[in-house]
Amino acid sequence: MKNIDKYLSLLGDEVDGLLLTSRYSRHYGAQFDIAEGIAIVTAKGCRYFTDSRYIESAQNGIQGFQVMETTRAVPYSKLLNDAIAEFGVTTLGYEEDYMTVAELRRFEEKLDAKLVPMNEKIAGFRCVKEPYELERMRKAQMITDEAFKEVLKRIHVGMTEKELAAELIYCLLKKGGEGLSFDPIVVSGPNTSLPHGVPGDRRLKEGDFITMDFGVIYQGYCSDMTRTVALGYATDEMKKVYDTVLKAQLAGIAVTKAGVTGKQIDAAARQVIQEAGYGQYFGHGYGHCLGMEVHEMPSCSPGGETVMQTNMVSSAEPGIYLPGKFGVRIEDVVIFTDDGCEDITQSPKNLIIV
């Protein structure tokens, strides 16, 4: 089934059209990425509107939609109302998670159709990946692995976290990334106890842990990866914590398969950390799904009640964070299968000392 057909399957008693405003849903439906635009999906026709900056690319690349240009004289509202009238639309499902209150009010004021929130259903198709999506995610993860291997050669005493972050970004783009999944987290020493710390001016020292959390976008799909390495040497306590986190991740991966809940996967990893005496220092969930966005639903967390399905994709990232001392996180990305999972992150998980 084509992605546009998935959207068409939502039409019925609740709505007779969809208003796609987010870049993710437009990309998913058209299977072509345009930075700005609006699309309308109806049983009688589908149209995609964008402006002069993107119209040529849209006309050349978008399939399944009639592509039309918006101008100052012909704004989005005019194009949408023309389609609403021509296709007999009375109700439009919209993506409330991606729309501001001001945007919603403008649409409600200007459009000749009732707006119905439908983000969960519209975005829900992206939870289970098609084969082509999985291939793009494998490629994105391969780029990330190659960048990690390269950046290890660039780490040295005296460089700042910001400098290391810059080297990492260079490696990610040099290896084929088309953009970043998110701003990389690069922290060192006591800053590694901050799960989402921001690279700063602290200079790397012998005996530091260095945590790097990073990913790229490849053909619209994200990778995500975290590795914690030691600079020069690691103390016995550092090794113990690292080993605990690794065992927790492996325990989570061991129970990861279609048919289990995210809560069950989280519990398997969390039990290892709790039994080692570090339970209070693991505050976030074990993992999150990803795809076109680096954080998608459902999640593998203590509240993750969703039963995971084949070809869902999730991170596997337990961590231990000791305030004022150091932290460790190890993150891979896995694809759910009927009888287990495929770990598409190939970088070594053993403690690396650079």
Residues 190 and 260 in one domain: yes
Q: Examine residue 298 and say whether the peptide bond preceding it is cis (omega within 30 degrees of 0).
A: yes
Among the three residues 78, 108, 124, which one is the final residue of a domain in this structure?
124
Total count of domains within the chain = 2
321 closest CA partner among 195, 186, 184: 195
Could you give the residue ranges of the DSSP H alpha helices within 200-328? 236-254, 262-275
Domain that holds residue 278: 131-343
> In terms of domains, do 225 and 314 share one?
yes
Domain boundary among 78, 99, 124: 124
Phi, psi of 151 (to 5 degrees): -70, -25
Asked whether residue 203 falls in the same domain as residue 118, the answer is no
Q: Are residues 152 and 286 in the same domain?
A: yes
Burial of 272 (0-12, 13-18, 19+ CB in 10 A): buried
Q: pLDDT tens digits for the chain (354 residues)?
A: 689 999 999 999 899 999 999 999 999 999 999 999 999 999 999 999 999 999 999 999 998 999 999 999 999 999 999 999 999 999 999 999 999 999 999 999 999 999 999 999 999 999 999 999 999 999 999 999 999 999 999 999 999 999 999 999 999 999 999 999 999 999 999 999 999 999 999 999 999 999 999 999 999 999 999 999 999 999 999 999 999 999 999 999 999 999 999 999 999 999 999 999 999 999 999 999 999 999 999 999 999 999 999 999 999 999 999 999 999 999 999 999 999 999 999 999 999 999
Token representation of residue 142: 């391969």
CATH classification of the domain holding 315: 3.90.230.10
* Identity of the residue numbered 289: C
Residues 167 and 305 in one domain: yes
The DSSP code for 343 is E
Q: At what angle do helices 76-87 and 101-110 cross, to 10 degrees?
A: 50
